[in-house]
């Protein structure tokens, strides 16, 4: 890995990785409260570089790997609470979560009434 001191030392983009090989790996260290992100995906790399420029206190560009003279992997670091790659919830999932919360609140209220 070629270590860098800031996003200005990182390559403009990544290349040379086929679509099947592109991936983003997030390793969260809850003791240090940091997340380490490794990506070979050009789109994700661009998003992380943008965040490094916009939020330099939170997102850090650590370095990159080169293969065949072309940058292929970018390494980043950010607070663990900011690293989330979950898919957005569907309408059905949101409705089920709301129904579950309503049931739990009703059960809690019922048990509070019995304690009076």
Q: What's this model's pTM, rounded to 2 decimal places?
A: 0.70
CA-derived radius of gyration, the chain: 21
CA distances from 47 to 70, 77, 79, 98, 100 (A): 19, 13, 16, 32, 35
Confirm if 76 and 60 have CB atoms less than 8 A apart: yes
Q: pLDDT at position 108, please?
A: 87
In this predicted structure, the answer to whether residue 93 has a pLDDT above a threshold of 80 is: yes
Q: pLDDT at position 55, please?
A: 94
- Give DSSP secondary structure letters for 31-53: TTTEEEEEE--HHHHHHHHHHHH
Confirm if 39 and 45 have CB atoms less than 8 A apart: yes
Q: pLDDT at position 104, please?
A: 92
pLDDT in tens, 64-79: 998 888 899 999 999 9
Give 115's pLDDT tier (boundaries 50, 70, 90).
low
């Amino acid at each position: 890995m070629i270590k860098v001191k800031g996003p200005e030392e990182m390559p403009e983009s990544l290349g040379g990785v086929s679509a099947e090989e592109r991936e983003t790996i997030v390793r969260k260290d809850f003791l240090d409260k940091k997340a380490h992100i490794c990506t070979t995906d050009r789109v994700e790399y661009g998003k992380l570089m943008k965040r490094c420029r916009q939020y330099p206190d939170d997102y850090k560009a650590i370095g990159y790997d080169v293969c065949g003279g072309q940058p292929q992997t970018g390494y980043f670091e950010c607070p663990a609470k900011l690293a989330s790659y979950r898919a957005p919830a569907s309408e059905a999932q949101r409705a089920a979560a709301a129904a579950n919360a309503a049931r739990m609140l009703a059960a809690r209220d019922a048990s509070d009434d019995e304690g009076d």
